[in-house]
Structure 1
Amino acid sequence: MSERSRPHRRSDYAHFRAMTTRWMDNDSYRHLNNTVYYSFFDTAVCQYLIENGVLDVKQSPVIGLVAETKCGYFKEISFPSVVHAGLRVGRLGNTSITYEVGLFRDDDDDACAQGHFVHVYVDRATSQPVPLPDGVKEAVAPLLVRGPTVAA
């Protein structure tokens, strides 16, 4: 069994998106339901791509589909809080990108949760994997935490 990872720090991330929690996000245990964390991940990634002009949810011919996701939890988040989603790219492949996200509660410097989304980029019409468009590669380049690697 491997050792549990440590929470990332805010300084580990290149880009942030602030999002507020909502009353309905709390579950019966009075903290955010695990599905809300994944919603924050998805919003951070998609909003970054939209704002950088490489995702048009209605018309982009190439789209990223989630092929894998993971989240580790360290501290609870509950309403009312502001969640700061830190975004970075851990891996850039031929047809996929691993987006890493850390969720920070209010002014906390350590992540309450962190994980990743692997997006495989596909042709919208055929759902077949395609090489990453140059615009997407350029948009995510500032988020790379390691030198780019190419998938086989």
Structure 2
Amino acid sequence: MSQKKLVHVTQVPIRWGDMDVYEHVNNTIYFRYAEQARIEWMENLGHRLSLSQTQGPVIVNASCTFLVPLTYPGTVEVRMLIGPPGRSSVETYYEMRMIGQDRLYADGSAKVVWVDLETGKSCPIPDALRELMLSDAP
């Protein structure tokens, strides 16, 4: 198992519309919570996503283990961790808890690959961004 380092923490309010017929947060929404943490982290590194870019991060796989149902009302704390970045990718990991609780409600991961958006092929993470990731990485 690779080393992981905590790089970002965010809080996301659970909305009524996040719930499903079973009165808990729908499984698809957990991926939105992870996305929110990932986008905030990228922006904190100075990378703002834009339609005018020719390269950018793409998720090539994502997973989530649902341990305890999240329910409304409440606020989710999403902790984002990363492994050591490679040439064109970085593994990201997520832990989700209700604010004020130590109990782990869900954990997940997503592999982020830097892609040339015109060719669809992987390309190196920009040096400046990779250096910032390395300073965050284990």
Q: TM-score, normalised by structure 2?
A: 0.87
Q: Which of 37, 50, 65 is equivalent to 1:72? A: 65
Q: Report how far residue 142 of structure 1 moved.
A: 4.4
The 8 Å contact of residues 84 and 134 in structure 2, kept in 1 or not, is answered as: no
**Unaligned runs of at least 5 residues, structure 2:** none
Q: After superposition, what is the alpha-carbon deviation per residue over 1:38-87, rounded to whole angstroms, capped at 9, x for unaligned?
A: 01111110121123212323233321111111111111111111111101
- The aligned residue for residue 17 of structure 1 is 10
Secondary structure, counterpart of 2:96 in structure 1: strand
Identity of aligned residues (%): 22
5+ long unaligned stretches in structure 1:
1-11, 147-152
Residue equivalent to 1:47? 40
1:89 to 2:77 alignment? no
Q: 1:112 aligns with which of 105, 108, 113?
A: 105
Q: How many residues align?
A: 134
Displacement after TM superposition at 1:138 (Å): 2.7
Q: Mean Cα displacement is larger for which, 125-134 or 50-59? A: 50-59
**Poorly superposed stretches of 4+, deviation over 3 Å:** none
Residue 99 (str. 1) matches residue 92 (str. 2): yes
Q: Deviations over 1:92-134 (max 9, x none)?
A: 1111111111111121123210111101111122211101111
TM-score (norm 1): 0.80
Q: Is the 8 A contact 1:41 1:101 kept in 2?
A: yes
Change (3 A) 1:73 1:48: same
| Structure 2 CA distance for partners of 1:49 and 1:24, relative to 1, 3 Å | same
CA RMSD of superposed structures (Å) = 1.6
